Structure 1
Amino acid sequence: MIFIPLPFVLTILLAIILVQLLRNREAGSRSDMLFIALIGTYMLQSVLLGLRWGYDIFAVLPVQIMLAAMIAGLSYLSFRSLTVQNSADVLRANKIWPHLLPVFVVFGLLLLRRDLAALAIIVIFLGYGLALLRLSSAGPDVLIAARLDGVLRSYRAMQITGAMLIGSVIVDILINFDFLWNSGRYSPSIILVTNILSLLVLGAAAGVALNNRTNADEDERDEGRPLVIVAETTLNTEQHGAIVAELDALMQDKQLYKDMELNLKRIAHRLRRPPRHVSEAVNRCRGISVSVYVNNFRVEEACRLLRETDEPVTQITFASGFLTKSNFNREFLRVTGMSPKAFRSQMGTSDVRDNAQ
């Protein structure tokens, strides 16, 4: 019987996730390469984990440590790419090289002071974990390049990634105590289990963020119009109200909410405003995030279609601007307190085709 270490099975699962995501994406931004590289690094780390614990190949340990340092910085850069106006900026050398420094530091320690390499990994993971949580403290609207239909999932993925990086630090501390109290008796099991779980969770989180990223940047879709954006300054209540009024007009007259790839960056581009101004205006004048604001229009349109047509729920999902039925059902329940089918039934409109779904 052929022995297949569990980490190899995890590698296959991560590969399936990546292939499915790539198949579902018609055209992506160049910064998608960060998430793709991140998932690929998780896969490679999983393979090394299988070689180390499945076949006792200790020679892979230094490479594992190097990859760990790389994963932390790559995780931050990947989610950071969802927060910037021009995603391509994240790929510039002057933005990437500072995040390569920890990898070189770890490499140097492996050559000169191997005993300090583990401590360096703890510091790196803690630093990047806190950086991701700090980034998430601004709320879901910080992810301006994520589709509004799935921005909450991407936001949770970012929080989970930050928490997992910090959790790895806690695990390392527990391992040190195990060596102190039990001569490392439980450390192999702790390392194997936590690494498998963390790679699976982190891979899924990266997959969610990549899947919820828009397929193309707004400036690439804008028919060559020059981009002129108002400078980022502090606005007063009247100015915020003017932005929301303009945004209301876009939603009602142009039905901008029907764009399934809509994100905060595209809305800001249409308004010729910085994304931060749009987010602040909606939060201040409506008391909600931009994603909730847009999804309210989508649910309102879905309610109209459910009342006035006999179209199947699935078709109404797409027609109202939602890309997935799960997000549609969740938002519809949030706004109306009932499912789409229950709403249609209550309105006295029946559709035999819905019963077949």
Structure 2
Amino acid sequence: MIFIPLPFVVALLLLILFATVLRRDEEVAPNLPFLALILVSALQSALSGLRWGYGVQGVGLVAPVIAAVVPPLAYAGVSRLVRTSRRSLAARIGLHAVPAILILLLVSFWRDAIDVALVLVFVGYAVAILLLMRPGADALRLAPFEGAVPAYRAIIFTAAALCLSAAVDTFVFLDFISAHSERALALISVGNLAALVILGIAAAAASRSRVPPEITEVAPRSDTSEDKETIAAVDALMEAKKLYCDANLNLDRLARKAGIPARQISAAINRAMDKNVSQYVNDYRIGEACRLLSVTEKSVTEVMFEVGFQTKSNFNREFRRVTDMTPVAWRQRKR
């Protein structure tokens, strides 16, 4: 019987996931770092199968370098949804290539330090991603409000997967020292494969947010005493042009329409209304949905699409948040 190691199965599943995401995003600008992250995770899983399933020891020289590419790709994918970098493309590639170059040098000259270096790289990028996500879903100002919350959760899972991989590497390193690698194979098989699966799925989920062309960021004003004025300006824009009905509306586009820096809008709504911008926009959408449900005979699905939602799960969740009932129950009650 032909023996097929579990890592090869995981690699195949990740490739299928990549093909699915690529087909889904063929009509929009894809998040290339997240797509690359899925491919690299598949390659890493295949290398793990060769090393631990078939004993190809030479893979051990390549695998650490490939592993060092994973955290920068995750961070780059998140950065494309958070803000546009002012650095040139060459500068960004050069900066994020440093971990792989460092590991390559350690493979050549100091192999005992590879595990420690990889742990530092994974933890460092996980912390960097969490710092980017400090404002919550509002940090994803280039992501449509429709998918901001799911993308935010997927990114948090990505950071958690990086930490899990770092923890596995730490345990394996300690096991080699104390127990002569008796438990190393089990730890690698379970821990790293779990981390790769989480990374792949999280990257696929986060990549659902469309990435617009890069633009120059406008510096926010430091004066925070004009929160009411800021919100009034955004309210007037939302009511006059019904921007909330645009399914692809995001914080960056809203800021450009209002002529107000994105961070100023986010800060004003957070401070004055105790909610994030995604919830603020969805409040308008649910308000319009309630109006349509009460004065028209349109189906719930038609109303959902008309007010800017793209998925029933998100529409129902936000409708419950605002009204404490489902759209169908709300319509029945009003009638």
* Band of TM-score, shorter chain: over 0.9
CA displacement, residues 19-64 of structure 1 (integer Å, 9 cap, x when unaligned): 222222254347x211111111111112212222222222112221
> 2:144 matched to 1:163?
no
Question: Match of 1:301, as an amino acid?
Answer: E
Partner of 1:100: 97
Contact 1:218 1:266 (8 Å CA) reproduced:
no
Among 113, 122, 125, the alignment partner of 1:125 is 122
* SS of structure 1 residue aligned to 2:146: coil
Q: Give the distance between the partners of 1:230 and 1:180, measured in 2 at CA.
A: 52
Match of 2:19 in 1: 19
- Whether 1:36 aligns to 2:35 is yes
Match of 2:272 in 1: 285
1:210-289 equivalences in 2 (<5 Å): 210-214=207-211, 216-217=212-213, 231-237=219-225, 239-289=226-276
Q: Which runs of 5+ in 2 are unaligned?
A: none
Cα distance in 2 between the residues matched to 1:127 and 1:95: 17
Q: Classify the secondary structure of the residue corresponding to 1:284.
A: helix
Q: Residues 316-331 of structure 1 correspond to what in structure 2 (within 5 A)?
A: 316-331=303-318
Distance 1:166 1:250 in 2: 42
Corresponding position: 1:6 with 2:6: yes
Higher mean C-alpha displacement, 12-21 vs 269-278? 12-21
Note closer, same or farther for the CA distance 1:16–1:308 as it changes in structure 2 (3 Å cut).
farther
The answer to whether the 8 A contact 1:322-1:328 is kept is yes
Amino acid paired to 1:83: V
Match of 1:224 in 2: none
Distance in 1 of aligned mates of 2:88 and 2:199: 21
Structure 1 position 174, deviation (Å):
2.1
2:6 corresponds to which letter in structure 1? Answer: L
SS of match in other structure, 2:132: helix
Question: May I ask how many residue pairs the two structures share in their alignment?
Answer: 335
**Contact 2:115 2:170 survives alignment (8 Å):** no
Q: What letter corresponds to residue 52 of structure 2 in structure 1?
A: W
Q: Which residue of 1 aligns with 2:296?
A: 309
1:223 alignment partner in structure 2: none
Contact persistence 1:77–1:90 (CA under 8 A): no
- Of residues 17-26 and 69-78 in structure 1, the stretch that sits farther from structure 2 once superposed is 17-26
User: Aligned residue for 2:55?
Assistant: 56
Question: Deviation of residue 116 (structure 1)?
Answer: 1.1
Deviation, structure 1 residue 230: 5.9
In the TM superposition, what is the alpha-carbon distance from 1:197 to its structure 2 partner? 0.8
Aligned match of 2:196: 199
Aligned: 1:333 with 2:330: no
Cα distance in 2 between the residues matched to 1:231 and 1:125: 31
Distance 1:204 1:9, change over 3 A: same
Kept in 2: contact 1:218–1:269 (CA 8 A): no
SS in 1 for 2:271: helix
SS for the counterpart of 2:247 is coil
Instruction: Decide whether the 8 Å contact of 2:231 with 2:269 is kept in 1.
Output: yes
Give the deviation of 1:92 after TM superposition: 0.8
| 8 A contact 1:133–1:163 mirrored in 2 | no
In structure 1, the residue matched to 2:137 is 140
Give distance in 2, aligned partners of 1:283 and 1:236: 12
> Could you tell me how far apart the structure 2 residues matched to 1:16 and 1:316 are?
34
- Cα shift at 1:331: 0.8
Q: Does the 8 A contact of 2:145 with 2:251 survive in 1? A: yes
**Does residue 1:294 correspond to 2:291, yes or no?**
no
CA distance in 2, matches of 1:127, 1:332: 38
Q: Which amino acid aligns with 2:295?
A: E
CA contact (8 A) 1:218 1:265 kept: no
Displacement, 1:273? 2.2
**How far apart, in 1, do the equivalents of 2:102 and 2:169 lie?**
19
Shifted more, 174-183 versus 40-49: the winner is 174-183
TM-score scaled to structure 2, two decimals?
Answer: 0.93
Worse overlay, 337-346 or 123-132? 337-346
Name structure 1 gaps, 5 residues minimum: 220-226, 349-357
1:158 and 1:275 map into 2 onto residues whose CA distance is 21
Farther off after superposition, 277-286 or 255-264:
277-286
Letter in 2 for 1:333: R
Deviation at 1:212, TM superposition (A): 2.1
